[in-house]
Amino acid sequence: MKENKKDIKTIFQEYKKILLNFFTKKASLKNNNKHNFDMRPCKMPFERIEIYPGGIIYPCCPDFLKNRQSAGNIGTQDFEEIWNGKVFKDIRKKLKKCDFSFCRRELCGEYVPYEGKIPKDYKKGPKEIKISYDKECNYKCITCRDEIIVNSPEMTEVYNNVYLPKVLKAVNNADILTLAGSGDPFYSKHSRHLIKEIMKVRPNIKIRINSNGYFLNEEMLTELGIQNNILGVIVSVDAASRETYKRILRTDAFDRVIKNLELMSEWKKQGKIEWIVINFVIHLINYKEMPEFVKLAQRLDAIAFFSTYRPWQSSELYKKYDEMAVFEQQNEHYEEFVEIMHNPIFQDKRHCVLEGKLIKIAQS
Ligand code: SF4
Ligand code: SF4
């Protein structure tokens, strides 16, 4: 039991490193190169899987793989066939020889090396499973989508009857479950069912939650039986005021979400959860609220993570990128944006993490 606790702690520390690396893009080409990759194999393809929309599994984050080759699909294949299949095997073989030729090292921010030998039991299954296939969400944030996505009954049936049994096999050896941010895990009927089923087979699993925070309350967490299993929460907030929240997330739920975050903050104080991240995607509508957002993070003892808006094809905002992207030099609000970024509040490393591009602006 003690060992297990230690493992979770180590995993958490590694995750924190990944989180910060990824967020600050420490591993981006300009900030690093081979120095971030030493002669130790990377753990990721031995220990983690992520299931993407359509049931696709990659041996690592597809954005960091040169050929973006998928390792299989849980809609059509058994989990074991994928986890120990040719694509994973080939990559692991290379990693054992510290051959990173398949990695986009200039982009990868997730390299976690083994300290000692690669454990022999990796074939049994991943230590961490990340669920990213379910897009159902009660919101339609302007940066993400223009319609609320709800799974059709047919889709829910496929998720419940085809995906779920395979996820339950995959989770057999896992210590960590990540409910990733493709939709909201508490709104989706399937995701709620999936969480309950996972808890039956892995009652001690630790959970990282990505959510819009609307249902992140004690009732929901207790109903799902995960109130004592949460490692950390990442909540998209994107605003420091009710009005701006309403414009961006297109729902009047700022006060409700903050109330839920206050509960998480209380739980953090009590040692029930390890960390809270509140996300802020910067664009024309919200950039003036950035300093207030850090204050919010300070009050909640959370990390405010700032990233720049990226045009997603699925959102109308995509067409207005030039107008919205205040962090681009050609934007008419750029100078004012830079001035805001010079606010010393962004130096509060305990409560504020900036994406790489923003660090440079803040330091300019
Ligand atoms: S170094 Fe990066 S791209 Fe390569 S396997 Fe590890 S996480 Fe994946
Ligand atoms: S950004 Fe998150 S909360 Fe907003 S619509 Fe997309 S999945 Fe839902």
Is-contact 44 112, C-beta < 8 A?
yes
pTM confidence score: 0.87
Q: Is the pLDDT of residue 12 over 60?
A: no
Q: Is 181 in the pocket of ligand 2 (CB under 6 A)?
A: yes
Picking from 13-17, 234-238, 360-364, which range would have the lowest pLDDT averaged per residue?
A: 13-17
Question: CA-CA distance, 213 to 133, in Å (whole number)?
Answer: 19
Q: Is 252 left (phi over 0), alpha (psi -120 to 50) or beta?
A: beta
What pLDDT, on the 0 to 100 scale, is given for residue 131?
96
% of the chain beyond a pLDDT of 70: 89
Ligand 2 atom at minimal distance to the Cα of residue 182: 7
How far, in Å, is the centroid of ligand 1 from the Cα of 46?
11
Dist CA 43 CA 32 (whole Å): 20
64 CA: nearest ligand 1 atom? 3
**Residue 16's pLDDT is what?**
53
Q: Out of 7-11, 25-29, 301-305, give the one with best mean pLDDT.
A: 301-305
Q: Which residues form ligand 1's pocket by a CB distance below 6 Å?
A: 42, 44-45, 60, 64, 100, 103, 108, 110-111
Looking at all shown ligands, the one closest to residue 250's CA atom is 2
Using one digit for the tens of pLDDT, what is the confidence trace for 235-269? 999 999 999 999 999 999 999 999 999 999 999 99
Determine the residue of 111, 128, 130 to mutate for testing ligand 1's pocket, defined as the one with the most ligand atoms within 8 A of the Cβ atom: 111
